[in-house]
Structures are given as structure tokens and as C-alpha cells.
Amino acid sequence: MDTLDLPMGRVDRQRPPTRVPDRPGDPRPHAVVIGAGFGGLAAAVRLGARGYRVTVLEKLDAPGGRAFVFRQDGFTFDAGPTIITVPHVFEELWTLAGRRMSDDIDLHELDPFYRISLADGRFIDVCRDEDEMRARVEALFPGEGAGFVRFQAECRRLCDLAFLGQGDRPMHDPLGMAKLAPDLLTHGALRSVHGLAAKYVRDPGLRAILSFHPLLIGGNPFATTAVYALIPELERRWGVHFAMGGTGALVKGLAGLIAGQGGTLCCGAEVDEIVTSGRRAVGVRLASGETVAADLVVSNADPGWTYGHLLRRTDRRRWTDRRVARARYSMSLFVWYFGTDRRYEDVPHHSILLGPRYRGLLEDIFRRGVLADDFSLYLHRPTATDPALAPPGHDAFYVLSPVPNLAAGIDWEAAAEPYRRRIEAHLSATVLPGLERSVVTSRVVTPPYFRDSLNTPLGAGFSLQPLLTQSAWFRPHNRSEELERLYLVGAGTHPGAGVPGVLCSAKILDAVVPHADAIR
């Protein structure tokens, strides 16, 4: 059996079917968690703290889900999330497990947060100090400083209303959504994030800088409800952080908490079906044929996969096959992980490189399904903060490009290498001179990875798009509408994608899952 001591490894290694250990002498009610992404790991810690014996079943050969870790040639690459903005959502988990997060995790605050570069060569380093940020905006975009401050104030109100007010509370009652609606409408929920930015500033480049954040959670800035303009306030209020050792250090830390609570994490254990009795979840069946009984089931799988595959033989009243197919899924991602035999000391930890087109490129990605010749990129250089993630004198990078999901029908076997070369040439001509001659290790992730390894419909990078009609009550509920004792956590349920949202989805279980003493 794969144990918690496994190194974060490759996803394609073949292993014999995992046997889930029995614990006949453990009298605690049994909770099974499907998937060891951040949502599943956080759910396991919370259930363990409430008296459950927890078993986490993970398809891949190591935990992490979207936060998987690739290791090769002496380099360590975080596969997915790299920015931590609300540290206390992690700290709560360590507290619940009777530990201090600082004993296990070295969280480093970054300031500036990141550099945003426009195609014309202008750039701005985004920092936490509001007065300094206004001065930087005014210097780069004369006359826009006051509008920027008003936009920030609106972000602050939205954060108070939506994140602090509703982010860790269940949204199962349509009346709750109705009560929230007047405040949301007052603060422009019917606008898009870009529309909200355009209300306060005039310069197209600044509008792009203020509105790109929905891409971090799978949304089109021109379609995502303005409620998600709260993201810049999360950064300002709690800072932008990086876990030394990479995001995988947080995954490993959470796995250790589960072990300390007497829980079990089984990797290489793919769940094929949720077992039911009447209208109740009573366990899971693995792809190996093994059945694991449970008093309750928590799915960290994408809701589309949970309802469309894991409950494929269950009569569903709300999340039918037709409704799952008609949902609007996020774009996908092309990610190139590479290491260089030199260091690029002038490149910051996080860089956003906006392309020459903004609206047009987003139309290609979200509406037309076209793999454009141009791109906007996120460049991650973790060795700017933690050189140990690469051999001495080397740098580790990943560069991420939003691309259409698999509904576009792009042949990625043919398209991947030419696209990677275009990105490489662009980086070499701009921020990473001589890159083509410096790369010593390389791997690429394309949309089929998200479909085949992470079981996301259409290879979506972030599950459902954060549209107004797919948010809060309209999103798949944390307490399943289809079965008793089935619960959902992760990017596709309320409150949504992004590390804070995913961890808050697990916190909602405290409000909807009975305490272990009351489960039987």
C-alpha cells in the first residue's frame, strides 16, 4: 500500500491495486473521502477532529490533486496552485489537529506580490501598501490614481460581503441567496469584473491589470460576476505567501495531520462508483472491484465526475446527465515546467505577462475555442524565494497559458510542441534571454491531463466557471441534493475555485455533517 511517506512523484507509474486496510478495532464512525486535493485533505482533517475514522482514497500515486508535485532531474515543480493568500484557513486545520502550523510549514510573505507586464513593455509591481500602490498606478497611468482607490474600496466591500459573510457558510437554501441578492446587486453583481474596473478607470491597460484575477479561478473577466473582484482584497488584506519547499509542503503537512489523527491515506486507489442504499451513500467501490463501506462519503472529485460517473447508476433529480453536460466549464491550461542551467536574478517570483490582445484573446479561449497565435502568461519562478527547488546555480520555472477546454476539439498531441516553442521563443525575446540554450529539463501538461488524470469534464482547469448563475446556491451544494450522507468539497462546489475557496468548502462540512457521536 502507498503510505504517507511516499515522495511526491510521477502520475504515470503503474502500481498494483491498493488494498484499503480494515480497522475492526476502531469504533469510530467511518468517513470516506474521495480525492486528496486540498479540499479532500482539509475535509479529512476536519472530520477527524469531529470524531470520525477517515479514509482518503486517491487515484494518483501521491496526494495533492491539482496541487500535485513533479520531481525530475533534481528540480521540484508544483503542478498547480502557487499563491497562498489567506493563511489562516490553513492554520485552522493545524489547530484542529492539535498542532501549530509553524512547526511544520515555513510560510514566506512576498511583497511585492507579483509583476504585471503589458505588451508595450510597461510593468507594475503590485504591493500591499495602498498608498504606494496608488503612487505606482498614478506614475504609470497619469490621472487614474483616484479611480484605482475607489476600485480597491469596492473590492474591500465585496470581500466583506461575499468572502467573510458567506464564503464558509452553506448555501443550500434559496432564501439565503435571495437575502444576499440586494447587497450583491448594490455592489454590481450584474456587472462583470472587467465592467467593474471600467467603471472606475479609463486606461485599457489598467483595466486589464485590475480585472485579470478571475483567470486564477477559471473565469473570463468579461463574464465573471463582479463579486469575484474580491480577490485583490484577499491579497491586500492577508498578503501573498509562498510555502518554502513549494505548495507540496502544505500537501505533505496536511497528510501528516491526517495520519496523526489516526486516519488513512491510500494512493493508487481509484474510486469507480459511490455505493448507495436507497437514497443514502453507504460506501464506495474501487476500480479494482474492492468495496469500502462508510457511514458517510465526501467527494473531492469534480461535481461533474461525481454525478456523471460516480453516480452513473443512480437516479438523479437535479444533477442529471443533461444538466451536467450543459454546465459551463472553465477554460483549460497549457503548462510548461522547465529548469535552466543558469539563474535569472532579475525575474521575480510571480509574473503576469499580458499579451497584445485582452478581450480578443479571451473570446478565443472562452467562446470561439481557438488556440490563438498570441497568449497571456503566468510565469512562476519559485527559486527566486527557495533556491533549494533546483540544483545549485539553476532555476525552476513553470509558465501557464490559459487555453480552450476540450470542447474546442484541438489535437493536443500535434499542437503541444509547436505551442511550447512559441512560448519559449516569446520568453527568450522578453524576460528570459537565451532561454532556448539554457533549458536542461522540461515537461508539459495539456488539457487531456486534466481530463484523464484529474477527472475534470472537458479538461477544465478549474471546474465550473464562476458565473453569477453558477455561484452560491446555483453551484452544486456541499450537502448533496441527490443522496443523504454524501457531501461535496473542492473547486466545483460552493464557494468555488482557488485555494481559499476550496479550503472554505471543507469548513462548510462543520455546519452540515453531523458530529460523529450523532451519526449512528
Q: Could you list the pLDDT tens digit for every one of the 520 residues in the chain? A: 333 332 333 333 344 556 787 777 788 999 999 999 999 999 999 999 999 999 999 999 999 999 999 999 999 999 999 999 999 999 999 999 999 999 999 999 999 999 999 999 999 999 999 999 999 999 999 999 999 999 999 999 999 988 877 768 887 776 666 666 666 666 567 789 999 999 999 999 999 999 999 999 999 999 999 999 999 999 999 999 999 999 999 999 999 999 999 999 999 999 999 999 999 999 999 999 999 999 999 999 999 999 999 999 999 999 999 999 999 999 999 999 999 999 999 999 999 999 999 999 999 999 999 999 999 999 999 999 999 999 999 999 999 999 999 999 999 999 999 999 999 999 999 999 999 999 999 999 999 999 999 999 999 999 999 998 898 888 999 999 999 999 999 999 999 999 999 999 999 999 999 998 888 6
Burial (CB < 10 A; 0-12, 13-18, 19+), residue 256, is middle
What SS3 class is residue 299? strand
**In the CATH hierarchy, which top-level class contains the domain 329-452?**
alpha beta
Give yes or no for a contact between 228 and 15, defined as CB atoms under 8 angstroms apart: no
- CA-based end-to-end distance of the chain: 30
Residue 459 neighbours by CB under 8 Å, 6+ apart:
332, 405, 406, 447, 448, 449, 450, 451
Task: Name the CATH topology of 31-107+244-327+464-518.
Answer: FAD/NAD(P)-binding domain (3.50.50)
Q: How far apart are CA 125 and CA 133, in angstroms?
A: 9
pTM of the model: 0.94
Give yes or no for a contact between 484 and 338, defined as CB atoms under 8 angstroms apart: no
Give yes or no for a contact between 334 and 419, defined as CB atoms under 8 angstroms apart: yes
Q: How far apart are CA 298 and CA 66, in angstroms?
A: 17
**Considering the domain 130-238, what is its CATH architecture?**
Orthogonal Bundle (1.10)
Region for residue 458 given its phi and psi (left: phi exceeds 0; alpha: psi -120 to 50; beta: otherwise): left
Q: Do domains 130-238 and 329-452 have the same CATH topology?
A: no
For the chain, the domains span 31-107+244-327+464-518, 130-238, 329-452
